[in-house]
Amino acid sequence: MALLRPQEQTFAAMLDGWRNQQLARNLAFSTISSREKTVEAFTRHADAYPWQWMPRMVDEWLGDLRAVRNLKRTTLRGYQEAVRSFCGYLIDPAYGWPAECEQRFGSHPVQVCFEANTAVHTRPPPSATAPTPAAPGPTTRQATTADDPTIPRYRHVA
């Protein structure tokens, strides 16, 4: 069956599928809504659908947001992550969008957010810092007790 407005309807179906994927990942409703609004804003700015997107479109959009609207870096990272995540969903063959778009539009979605065109965190993640010594707890006490030669040992005989 032919679609009345194939580009708009396909894009809406992509957003619906992505929303369902994020719900399945147990993301907060507010996160999902915010990401969807971000992708819609990028789509309007690029004046193109995901199967037409190119990395330079993201560069121009984010450059405008930073230079003209003076958005914070953390906000821009959030926008980058939303677009990157959406593209990741679209290019995953398990969801069928590459083949669907190729058949309908003669093109397919690609990832437009890369390490080279996205911001990095200025602080290392907590996992990159030196580990904090554990406070003595049951495991530490148990190990200490087991090593203490003054405590008698009992053997279980079966």
Q: What is the tally of helices (H) and strands (E) in the chain?
A: 6, 0
* Percent helix / strand / coil, the chain, rounded to 5: 65, 0, 35
Model confidence pLDDT, tens digit, residues 71-109: 999 999 999 999 999 999 999 999 999 999 999 999 999
CA distance 21 to 123: 30
User: Are 102 and 108 in contact, with CB atoms under 8 Å apart?
Assistant: yes
pLDDT: which is higher, 88 or 148: 88
Angstrom CA distances, 78 to 8, 83, 119, 120, 150, stand at 25, 9, 10, 11, 58
CA distance 82 to 66: 16
What dihedral do alpha carbons 91, 94, 98, 104 form, nearest 10°?
A: -140
Q: Report the run of H or E that residue 61 belongs to, with start and end.
A: helix 55-67
Of 6-20, 21-35, 132-146, the one with minimum mean pLDDT is 132-146
Q: What is the pLDDT of residue 97?
A: 98
Of 5-9, 77-81, 119-123, 134-138, the one with minimum mean pLDDT is 134-138
pLDDT: which is higher, 12 or 124: 12
Residue 130 has pLDDT above 80, yes or no: no
Residue 4 has pLDDT above 60, yes or no: yes
Domains of the chain with CATH codes: 6-121 (1.10.150)
The mean of the pLDDT values for the chain is: 86
pTM above 0.95, yes or no: no
Of 46-60, 81-95, 143-157, the one with minimum mean pLDDT is 143-157
Residue 131 has pLDDT above 70, yes or no: no
